[in-house]
Amino acid sequence: MDPTTGGRDWAGMKFVIPGVAALAAAVSLAGRWHWSARVPFVAMFGVLVASAVASTALATIGADAPAWQRHARVASVLGTCTVAMYLTGWGPLLSVGYLYVVAQLLEDHGSRATWPIMAWLTVCSAIGLGGVALHVAPTMLHRPLVYGLGALTTIGLLSGVRLLGASAARGEAAEEALRGSEMRFRSVLAHSSDLVAVIAADGLISYQSPSIEKLLGHQPDKIMTFLDTIHPDDHAQAGELFATILTTPGATITGEIHLLHADGTARLCDFSATNLIDTPGVNGVVANVRDITERRASEDELKERAFRDALTGLPNRALFMDRLDQALTHLEWHPGPMSVLFLDLDRFKVVNDSLGHSVGDELLVMVARRIEQCVRDGDTVARLGGDEFTVLLDGMDDPSDAVHVADRIVAMCRLPFVVDGREVFTTASIGIVMCEPGQAADDVLRNADLAMYLAKDSGRSRHATFDASMSARAVAQLETETDLRRAITRGHLMLHYQPMVRVDTNEIMGLEALVRWPVGDHLVSPSEFIPMAEETGLIVPLGRWVLEEACRQGEAWRAEGLLGPDSTMHVNISARQLAQPDLVATVAEVLGLTGFPVHQLVLEITESDVMRDFHDILGTLRRLERLGVGLAIDDFGAGYSSFGYLRRFPARTLKLDKTFIDGVAGRRQADTAIVETVVRLAHTLDMKVIAEGVETAEQLAGLVATGCDLFQGYHFSRPLPAHEMRALLAPTTALA
């Protein structure tokens, strides 16, 4: 028991004494009437007072008291009861009174008092029966009956006490489990970041977990209504939700709402509220609240990253296509001018490769900012990737507005960009497409891309507008690419050969292998499929096939004695092939497969390819030279090469561009002087000069006078298929 109750128990003695006196008087009167043993009033009153005093004095001994204190109280209470019962003479019959006392003791001390009670109950019964046997205690019953009843009642009492103790133990275990559950629940609430609150029907918060201090900065014991915790912007929504849930007991609603922190800031929270108004012990709406402010910020940041270009901050392809799709849907219901611009920087790869990726990245950022300056606030500027940008112009006043925007962008991109204190120049080619209702976003972007490539093909730094013919050309080009790929893999190509002649002996000193593509009864012009093969990368397998076929045919003619040991086979290779890291190994492999002598193979590279990537390809060319392969510069004079490069270039042959040939034939002294100078310089560098494109006797006469070594052109022979060239190589055949 609580020690603080001791004062109240002693104060209650003034009410106990009269009752004890009345009981003692009743026992004395019963003795006179022979209803009980004759007990003097004073004796009975003294025993009962002593019992009350002992019980009150020991009432402060609680369940957690030391064992000896529990024994003291049990012994005193049971002892005084035993004395009182046996003084009446009816001791064994009154033993049932022990149960009331035992119940009180178990209530005060718990199940731990069970065994002390059983022990002292046995002792007290034995003392009572012993008193009867020794004639110390009176009895109203025959003594043998007293002994029998005493034994039986003692056994029954012990069984009852055992059952009461077990029941008390179960109750204590249940209470302990309940207390443990409550402690765990309170611990969870105390350490949980989620807020749990109980809101009464009048809106007053009757309970809120300690996490409210961390979540909103309020003390858990602060009295307030639930609206005090809601941000003012969400008051109306919160009021409607609360009124709705009150109408349906047991209902649950979930959602998001902004709560108001004590510092005045808003916190976005996810909540679940359940109506438990009719549940006893709750009597309110239970709300579980979780702060999702940081999580939502992270989600928004991830969305921003997913739909934004990390370098420029512009919308990326995914976001642009989404906006374009929405705009096209809107266009179906509200027709009006709408356009997409597709922009690609010219020669950006040169800037990136020469000045570094950091400069290239900074240039892209500057281009993005300039494009944004050329459009309205509502227009979408996006970076698709690399140096490609797109602009969505929606809600234009006139279709010509798209052209005006493209003009501004082209003009802005022509201005110098200052990156790290250095002026960098680039230009932009733009494709324009006017959108129509019913179009798909992918089709619009593809059409704008086609128009952009037309702008590049037309000279760059300009714009072009899409028309239906562009799509037809693109489809035709795709079909051509597919057919060429099939022709390469199935061996449907063929080579024609054009001779290189030494005029003083009329000997064929070399052959140039030229690829031809027969389709039906005609040949596809190389000008139609070679550029496409370069662009798509098909030039690599195509070049491998040409090289192997030319070497195989050359070896066959050499074996027949039609190709002398000093004659050469010329094969053209492109810049794309030169960029392949395995080119030298491929050439060596082809020579090994065909058996064609390495010194009779000459690879021709155009002057423009040489000068564009001179430093990148120089190492490859030198490895080819070490392999023993001859190298020739084709179309010399068509580009802008410096004569100083000739000394470093490992070529041993120059092929003059046809423009010089025409000038010499026209007796233009400047062209003739240039050719003579080139020939003398080449001879000084131990290089051979071939004049190609010779078509007339007049051209031949002028070129012979300049000192050229070999001549090639229609004046001698057009390119011929292998069987016709074999006839031309026969010793009896004379060339004009």
Q: How does DSSP assign 227-238, residue by residue?
A: GGGB-GGGHHHH
Helix (H/G/I), strand (E/B), else coil: 644 = helix
State mean pLDDT over 179-201. 74
Q: How far apart are CA 604 and CA 645, in angstroms?
A: 16
Q: Across-strand partners of 288?
A: 196, 272
Q: Quote the tokens at residue 616.
A: 């990148």
Helix (H/G/I), strand (E/B), else coil: 712 = strand
Q: Cβ distance 486 to 450 under 8 Å?
A: no
Q: How far apart are CA 76 and CA 428, in angstroms?
A: 109
Q: Cβ distance 394 to 334 under 8 Å?
A: no
Of 33 and 117, which is predicted with more confidence? 117
Q: Quote the tokens at residue 630.
A: 């001859």
- For the ranges 10-19, 242-251, 350-359, 713-722, the one whose mean pLDDT is highest: 713-722
Whether residue 21 is predicted with pLDDT greater than 60 in this model: the reply is: no
Reported as a single tens digit per residue, the pLDDT across 128-163 is 777 777 776 776 767 777 777 777 877 877 787 788
What phi-psi label fits residue 598: left (phi over 0), alpha (psi between -120 and 50 degrees) or beta?
Answer: alpha
Q: Quote the tokens at residue 517.
A: 């593509």
Q: Using alpha carbons, list the distances in angstroms from residue 620 to 235, 350, 437, 625, 686.
A: 76, 20, 53, 9, 21
Of 662 and 361, which is predicted with more confidence? 361
Q: What is the pLDDT of residue 8?
A: 41
Terminal-residue alpha carbon distance, the chain: 136
Q: How far apart are CA 165 and CA 103, in angstroms?
A: 9
State mean pLDDT over 486-507. 91
Query: Could you tell me how many helices (H) and strands (E) the chain has, helices first?
Result: 27, 22
Q: What is the pLDDT of residue 30?
A: 56
Q: What is the pLDDT of residue 716?
A: 93
Taking the CA atoms of the chain, what radius of gyration do you get in angstroms? 56
Q: What is the pLDDT of residue 643?
A: 61
Q: How confident is the model at residue 126 (pLDDT cuts 50, 70, 90)?
A: confident
Comparing CA positions, the residue from 467, 445, 474 lying closest to residue 342 is 445
Sheet holding 388-394, edge to edge: 380-385, 388-394, 338-346, 427-434, 463-465
Burial class (CB in 10 A: 0-12, 13-18, 19+), 309: buried
Q: Across-strand partners of 259?
A: 230, 267
Whether residue 564 is predicted with pLDDT greater than 80 in this model: the reply is: yes
Q: Quote the tokens at residue 527.
A: 């000008």
- For the ranges 14-18, 79-83, 438-442, the one whose mean pLDDT is highest: 438-442
Q: What is the mean pLDDT of the chain?
A: 83
Q: What is the pLDDT of residue 75?
A: 74
Q: What is the pLDDT of residue 497?
A: 96
Q: What is the pLDDT of residue 1?
A: 39
Q: What is the pLDDT of residue 6?
A: 40
Q: Cβ distance 55 to 76 under 8 Å?
A: yes
Tell me which DSSP letter residue 36 carries. S
Reported as a single tens digit per residue, the pLDDT across 289-342 is 988 888 888 888 887 778 899 899 999 999 999 999 999 999 998 888 999 999
Task: Kindly report the pTM of this predicted structure.
Answer: 0.50
Q: Using alpha carbons, list the distances in angstroms from residue 415 to 256, 344, 423, 428, 540.
A: 51, 16, 10, 11, 38
